[in-house]
Amino acid sequence: MQKKTKSRLKWFFESFIWLGVLMLILDVVSKLIIYACRADLPHLLIPHVLNIEYSLNPNAAFSMGFDNPIVNRVMYTIVALGVAAGIIVFLCLKYKKTTMYTRACMMLIMAGALGNMFDRTCYAFSDFCVIDWIDFSPLLPFWKYTFNWADSCVVVGAIMLIVWLIIDEVKTSKANKAIEKAEENSDEKVLSASEKERIEEDKK
C-alpha cells in the first residue's frame, strides 16, 4: 500500500500536474481579487517597475481580435485549446517520452490557456472579457499593454519550450554529424585494408 502511494505521489510530482493546477488557481484567484477590489486598487505596486491597472480585454494578446465579442469568445477558446493540445501531441509524437522539463512547460501553457478560457466562458460578471491587471509601463515606457497571470504562464512556458527545442535540435544535429563522421572513417579504414590486400595479391 505504501509503495503504491509513493509511486502515485512520484508520478503526480513528475507529471507537473500540480504546477498546472497551482498556476491556474493563482490566475483565477488573482483575477477575482482584482475584480472585487477594482475601485480601491493601489495604482502603483512597485515604484518604477509595476502598476496594477485593471482592464477588461475582449480580445486576444495585444488587443488583437474581431469586432463581434461572441466570435472573439468562440475563436480564442478554440485557438487556445487547439494550440495547447497541438503542442502536447507534437512533443509526444516527436520525442515519444517527455522529460520533466517539457512537462513543466506544457503544464504552464495549459494553465494559461485554461485561465483565460474561464474568463471568456464563465465570467458573465465581466461580460466574458479577460481580466488584465499587470502593467509594466513604469519599467518599460514603450510597453502599453496590460496582461494577467495566465498570459505570463503561456509566455514563460512557450519561451522555455522554444529554448529547449533549439538546444535539443543543436545536440541532435551534432550527434548525427559525429555518427556520420565515425561511419565515414570506418568505411575509409575498411577500404584501405582491402586495397592493401589487393596490392599484396598483385605482387604475388
- Residue 108 corresponds to which cell in the numbers above? 504552464
Task: Please state which of the ranges 13-17, 47-51, 100-104, 114-118 shows the lowest mean pLDDT.
Answer: 47-51
**Using CA atoms, how far apart are residues 84 and 64, in angstroms rounded to an integer?**
19
Of the given ranges (41-45, 117-121, 166-170), which has the lowest mean pLDDT?
41-45
| CA distances (Å), origin 77, targets 22, 33, 82, 146, 192 | 21, 23, 8, 20, 64
pLDDT of residue 35: 92
**Residues classed as catalytic:** 132, 151
**What pLDDT score does 25 carry?**
97
Per-residue pLDDT tens digits for 93-121:
776 678 889 889 989 999 998 998 888 88
More confident residue, 185 or 25: 25
* Edge-to-edge order in the sheet of strand 130-135: 44-46, 50-57, 130-135, 146-147
Between 43 and 100, name the one with better pLDDT: 100
Q: What's residue 166's pLDDT?
A: 92
